[in-house]
Chain A
């Protein structure tokens, strides 16, 4: 018990001392004050309730979805994916400083190593669409998780279809 208390105290000290790289020069603004993003970037949008323009929440709102899906063994962009990626591209062009990581994923019905490559193919497929739609490729990184990170846990066609995906991840 003593040891735990000591550890907790130490942890508290560390937290207070600053896990962040630099201690803040002053306290952050109280919640009632306006948020930091300049208003010029939101000229064409109506403000959605408290969602910061350029944020992940804003991306999801405006693009509709961060995820496109694929057929078995395929990395082809179908019509539904086309529509989603087009909206993603539009948003990304509006916020040119936002970096995006495109993750590629597979369902469990494939072997480990091939799925790493297939996931990468899917991520690149989505990336190439975004690039062709005008997004600067230098902003886009790609990572494959193969079959390691499913979103649906069943072993059925519906779950597998959900897991065959590319996810465009922008910072919070």
Chain B
């Protein structure tokens, strides 16, 4: 993925008559992790503990300095589309209440760095997002992004993103991420993709295809053709590579697949069933499960291929390994005690100990990118998605479906996507839920969906 270029100094370069130039922000994906509001700024979204009221926020259509044609359409239309993408991102986070279109007022280009606060105050909006879309002379676009505190009439942050026209959505997501991070203190997550299994057909014989889409459902594309049963795809951190399991040639095997070239290879050259693959956070290793002589264990192999190292040896079923973000530990599921439970071990397989002790069974563990929590499928009367601390304490279910399973974390460790299967029909769909258990919502996909895996934040 091409890194988006951050414009260093919007004030100087693009807006004649703008206020004094800001100090250049460092290029990068956004504020430092854990950065809270700047001292003196009062406007924040409180998301610790329960959810307070969503913050009313105004996101008017973004003007353009000059309506020019681009391969992605005219820049004035893009301005409207960009504000729509930002509005959807912020609304779908559950933490913001964007003004309806009827409440929004048109914003002229000169007003972008100099908002008409008086016009916005009566709407009840506490925050205001203004920006613009500009066609640069070299074929790129700039998406300018400004966040204002309406009550104190102050600018909170400004950033610009230079993108190819075909990447205009990423400019919108980057702006939404800037606003979100600034107001919540959380890391960003909107500029990311999800890979999952698109399903269709009768329950006895589903056709399954791998598909990739933006986290908001846009830019959806299939990457396999459905001729072979495919399961559990996961991105490498770089997102150029994917691991997944396929039944082609009637042999259940994990493949490593280069998305750009379409080439794939077996994760290991062994005549055994392999499945449940996952990359390490640094992309150097692939964990997978392999069944040798009827015994299922977790193995690790270099992402470039080679001989696998065996990490578990119990005679039970050991599967579903997921690394901690620092790469030092792995959480996995094992039925060595008699039922599926969660275990943690060191990255080299040492120190294996159980962490789940609640009623029922625990499966499909995934370690949060923030390191603080482990999400899982809790099998009790129904299947629920839940989270616990990495030592197993504080376990709680976040959903309560008939069969909710297979959670995956957003890049900021704040949202979980999972799939929900309907009783009877067996139809599966993708859903997401906030860490606090609120804002449970369906993710739009062209067909049914299962086995989602959320990719990292794009650079």
Contacts and interface: CB of A to CB of B under 8 A. Distances in A.
B426 A113 contact: no
B353 to A, nearest CB: 20
Given A153-B426, A155-B426, A113 B294 contact: no
A110 B296 CA distance: 17
A139 interface: no
Contacts of B319: 113-114, 116-117
B137 interface: no
Most buried by B among A117, A121, A151, A155: A117
B252 A111 contact: no
B405 A120 contact: no
B379 A111 contact: yes
B179 to A, nearest CB: 36
A113 B252 contact: no
A162 to B, nearest CB: 11
A113 B275 contact: yes
Contacts of A153: 202-204, 426
Contacts of A116: 231, 245, 252, 273, 275-276, 319
Interface in B352-400: 363-364, 377, 379, 383
Interface in A123-155: 124, 128, 143-145, 148-151, 153-155
Interface residues of B, number: 41
Contact of A111 (B296, B363, B423): B363
Interface of B: prevailing SS: strand
A120 B319 CA distance: 13
A112 B405 contact: yes
Interface residues of A, number: 25
Contacts of A73: 339
B340 interface: yes
A66 interface: no
Contact of A150 (B204, B320, B405, B451): B204
B291 A149 contact: no
Given A108-B421, A144-B273, A148-B229, A117 B317 contact: yes
Contact of A143 (B232, B252, B450): B252
A170 interface: no
A111 B205 contact: no
A116 B252 CA distance: 9
B294 A124 contact: yes
Interface in B414-431: 421, 423-424, 426
A125 to B, nearest CB: 8
B426 A114 contact: no
A118 interface: yes
B377 A113 contact: no
Contacts of A117: 275, 289, 291, 296, 317, 319
A111 B377 contact: yes
B206 interface: yes
Interface in A87-125: 108-114, 116-118, 120-121, 124
Nearest to B421: A108
B203 A113 contact: no
Given A120-B273, A148-B229, A155-B426, A112 B252 contact: no
Contacts of B231: 112, 116, 148
A112 B197 CA distance: 12
A114 B203 contact: no
B333 interface: yes
Contacts of A118: 317
Contacts of A110: 379
B206 A112 contact: no
Interface in B304-344: 317, 319-320, 333, 335, 339-340
Contact of B424 (A111, A112, A121, A154): A154
Nearest to A116: B275
Contacts of B426: 108, 153, 155
Given A124-B294, A155-B423, A111 B289 contact: no
Contacts of A150: 203-204
A29 B383 CA distance: 58
Contact of B232 (A112, A149, A154): A112
Contacts of A121: 294, 296, 317
B250 interface: yes
B75 interface: no
B3 to A, nearest CB: 34
Given A112-B405, A112-B406, A112-B451, A149 B205 contact: yes
A144 B405 contact: no
B403 interface: yes
A112 B276 CA distance: 9
A52 B204 CA distance: 29
Contacts of B364: 111-113
Contacts of A109: 403
Contacts of B320: 113-114
Interface in B212-254: 229, 231-232, 245, 247, 250-252
Nearest to A120: B291
A27 B318 CA distance: 54
A110 B252 CA distance: 19
Interface of B: 202-206, 229, 231-232, 245, 247, 250-252, 273, 275-276, 289, 291, 294, 296, 317, 319-320, 333, 335, 339-340, 363-364, 377, 379, 383, 403, 405-406, 421, 423-424, 426, 450-451
Given A111-B377, A114-B319, A121-B294, 7 more contacts: A108-B403, A111-B383, A112-B405, A113-B364, A117-B319, A143-B273, A153-B426
